[in-house]
Structure 1
Amino acid sequence: MRNKNYFSEKILLPAYLACCFFLFCGISFPSAVWLSLNDYIEKYKGIAIMEMQRTGIPASITLAQGIVESNYGNSMLAKYSNNHFGIKCRSTWKGASVRLHDDKPNECFRKYNHPYESFIDHSYLLTSSERYATLFNYKSTDYRSWAQGLQKAHYASSKRYARVITSIVEFYGLHYYDTSTYQKYSIHPVYVDMVEKYAQKYGMSPDAAAAITDVQTIPVESEADTSNFNNLTQLIANTVKTEYTVQPGETMYGIARKFGTTVEAIQSLNALPTTQLKAGQIIVVLQ
Structure 2
Amino acid sequence: MKNIFTFWILLLSAITLKGQNTEDYITEHATIAQTLMHEHKIPASLILAVAIHESASGNSRIAQYLNNHFGVKGPNNNSEIRSSYRDYLSAEESYNHFVEIMETRSPFNNLFGKYDKYDYKGWARGIQRSGYAHSRSWASQVIALIKKHELYQYDERPEGYEEPVYKSAYKKKSSKSRLTKTYTVKPGDNLSVIAKKKGVTVKSLMIKNGLKKANLKPGQKIKL
User: Shorter-normalised TM-score: what interval?
Assistant: 0.5 to 0.7
SS at match of 2:152: helix
- Tell me the equivalent position of 1:75: 60
Matching of residues 104-119 of structure 1 within 5 Å? 107-119=83-95
- Tell me the equivalent position of 1:55: 40
SS at match of 2:71: coil
> Among residues 101, 113, 126, which one is paired with 1:125 in the alignment?
101
TM (normalized to structure 1)?
Answer: 0.46
Structure 1 residue 180 displacement after superposition: 6.3
**Structure 1 unaligned runs (5+)?**
1-30, 91-95, 182-287
Task: Work out whether residues 118 and 157 of structure 2, in 8 Å CA contact, stay in contact via their aligned partners in 1.
Answer: no
The code of the aligned residue for 1:36 comes to: N
Give the Cα–Cα distance (whole angstroms) in 2 for the partners of residues 160 and 73 of structure 1: 21
Quick one: structure 1 residues 139 and 76, their matched pair in 2 at CA, closer, same or farther if it must change by over 3 Å?
Answer: same
Structure 1 residue 146 displacement after superposition: 0.5
CA deviations 1:66-108 (Å, max 9, x no partner) are: 0011000001111111111111116xxxxx544899xxxx653
Q: Is residue 25 of structure 2 the alignment partner of residue 40 of structure 1? A: yes
Matching of residues 226-265 of structure 1 within 5 Å? none
- Tell me the equivalent position of 1:142: 119
Give the Cα–Cα distance (whole angstroms) in 2 for the partners of residues 99 and 129 of structure 1: 29
The code of the aligned residue for 1:179 comes to: E
Give the Cα–Cα distance (whole angstroms) in 1 for the partners of residues 79 and 50 of structure 2: 22
**Structure 2 unaligned runs (5+)?**
1-15, 159-224
- Tell me the equivalent position of 2:131: 154
Give the Cα–Cα distance (whole angstroms) in 2 for the partners of residues 164 and 83 of structure 1: 19
Give the Cα–Cα distance (whole angstroms) in 2 for the partners of residues 85 and 100 of structure 1: 20
Q: Is residue 152 of structure 2 the alignment partner of residue 167 of structure 1? A: no
CA deviations 1:191-221 (Å, max 9, x no partner) are: xxxxxxxxxxxxxxxxxxxxxxxxxxxxxxx
SS at match of 1:69: helix
- Tell me the equivalent position of 2:215: none
Q: Which gives a bigger RCO, structure 1 or 2 (Cα 8 Å, sep 6+)? A: 1
SS at match of 2:92: helix
Greater C-alpha radius of gyration:
2
Task: Work out whether residues 99 and 107 of structure 1, in 8 Å CA contact, stay in contact via their aligned partners in 2.
Answer: no
Between the two proteins, what is the percent identity of the paired residues?
Answer: 32
